[in-house]
Amino acid sequence: MPLLVVGSVGIDTVETPHGKAQDVLGGSAVYFSWAASFFVPVRLVSVVGSDFPERYRDDLSTKDIDMTGLEVRDGKTFRWSGQYKDTMHVAETLSVDLNVFGQFAPNVPEQFRDSRFVFLANGLPTLQMEVLDQMNGPAFVAADTMNHWISDMKPELLKVLKRVDGFILNDAEARQLTEEHNLIKAARALQEMGPSYVIIKKGEHGSLLVSEEGFCLVPGYPTEHVKDPTGAGDTFAGGTMGYLAKTGTVNVENMRQAIIYGTVLASFNVEGFSIERLKQIDMADLESRRSHFASMVKF
């Protein structure tokens, strides 16, 4: 069952204690799409500039990612530069150039509007609403956000939450949005804002799923060789939504399994810069690590 994602496609420069990657493929929609395409065809909606390297388009075309909705405009592609230090828990942003992404008005192609599963990657809440207004009654919609939108566009974000079924955010964002320090209380408060399923990411410590049926904890996969955390959250979301779209059914058990796949895919992602590590694995690798993960947490 095809899955639609609307988000950024960009060019990143990242430096960590393990090296530096200059002008590599990045963006929320890229990581999400690559991860989700392990399970289902992905429909990507975004914008790039005329400077977007053809080799990066070629990379994406090796996966089952429909780029009909990838608009090319005169100008430069979205660029982000950042660095990680020491434990690499938080990225220090050195520069952000929105370029053509700054004027992005998502136009969902007509043939994409029947998508049953939709993911609104981190972006302006007003643009997320524009996407929802173009869809033909999707079965399940999930959204991401960031601290900036919580601070500056909270009323608009709350309108989005009333229209989505799932919400994925990190622990700091959950506390900021709800003003609740306890994550269980924060998740319950988020449910009252609209979404039935709330997934709170806790970095290397895993994630918390809260639904009407209760809650469950999924630990992080203990990755030994962390090279670059960029895109881990988007990869997690892609794996989670990809599995749900593959099953075609959203319930607590499927959601739990989806989060496990998302966690495992994110563990591969952090082992390389950009999507270089994700490019090296196939479904057999994913299933092997998932089985290993299951054996570690079984009790």
Q: What is the pLDDT of residue 105?
A: 92
Cβ atoms of 291 and 251 within 8 Å: the answer is no
Q: What is the pLDDT of residue 215?
A: 87
The answer as to whether 11 is a domain residue is: yes
**Average of per-residue pLDDT across 192-201:** 96
The sign one gets for the Cα dihedral 153, 155, 160, 161 is positive
The answer as to whether 68 is a domain residue is: yes
> Could you give the CA distance from residue 194 to residue 63 in angstroms, rounded to a whole number?
33
The answer as to whether 137 is a domain residue is: yes
- Residue-wise pLDDT for 152-162, tens only, equals 999 999 999 99
**The pair of three-digit structure tokens given for residue 29, joined into one six-digit string:** 């929609």
pLDDT(89) > 90: no
**Average of per-residue pLDDT across 111-124:** 95
Q: What is the pLDDT of residue 86?
A: 82
Q: What is the pLDDT of residue 2?
A: 86
Q: Assign 265 a pLDDT band (cuts: 50, 70, 90).
A: very high
pLDDT(299) > 80: no
Q: What CATH number has the domain bearing residue 81?
A: 3.40.1190.20
Q: What is the pLDDT of residue 70?
A: 97
pLDDT(125) > 80: yes
Cβ atoms of 176 and 154 within 8 Å: the answer is no
Cβ atoms of 108 and 118 within 8 Å: the answer is no
- Residue-wise pLDDT for 65-87, tens only, equals 999 999 999 999 999 999 998 87
pLDDT(298) > 80: no
Domain that holds residue 106: 3-294
> Could you give the CA distance from residue 269 to residue 177 in angstroms, rounded to a whole number?
28
- Least confident stretch, 55-64, 84-93, 135-144, 260-269: 84-93
DSSP for the chain reads --EEEE---EEEEEEETTEEEEEEEE-HHHHHHHHHTTTS-EEEEEEEETT--HHHHHHHHTSSEEEEEEEEESSPPPEEEEEE-TT--SEEEEEEE-GGGGG------GGGTT-SEEEE-SS-HHHHHHHHHHSS--SEEEEE--HHHHHH-HHHHHHHHTT-SEEEEEHHHHHHHH--SSHHHHHHHHHHTS-SEEEEE-GGG-EEEEETTEEEEEPPP--S-----TTHHHHHHHHHHHHHHHHT---HHHHHHHHHHHHHHHHHHTTSSTTTTGGG--HHHHHHHHHHHHHHH--
pLDDT(282) > 90: yes
Q: What is the pLDDT of residue 281?
A: 97
The answer as to whether 299 is a domain residue is: no
The answer as to whether 241 is a domain residue is: yes
Q: Which residue has the tokens 């609740």?
A: 180
Percent of the chain with pLDDT over 70: 100
**Average of per-residue pLDDT across 271-292:** 96
Q: How many domains does the chain have?
A: 1
> Could you give the CA distance from residue 7 to residue 128 in angstroms, rounded to a whole number?
9
- Residue-wise pLDDT for 213-261, tens only, equals 888 899 999 988 899 999 999 999 999 999 999 999 999 999 999 999 9
The answer as to whether 167 is a domain residue is: yes
Percent of the chain with pLDDT over 90: 86
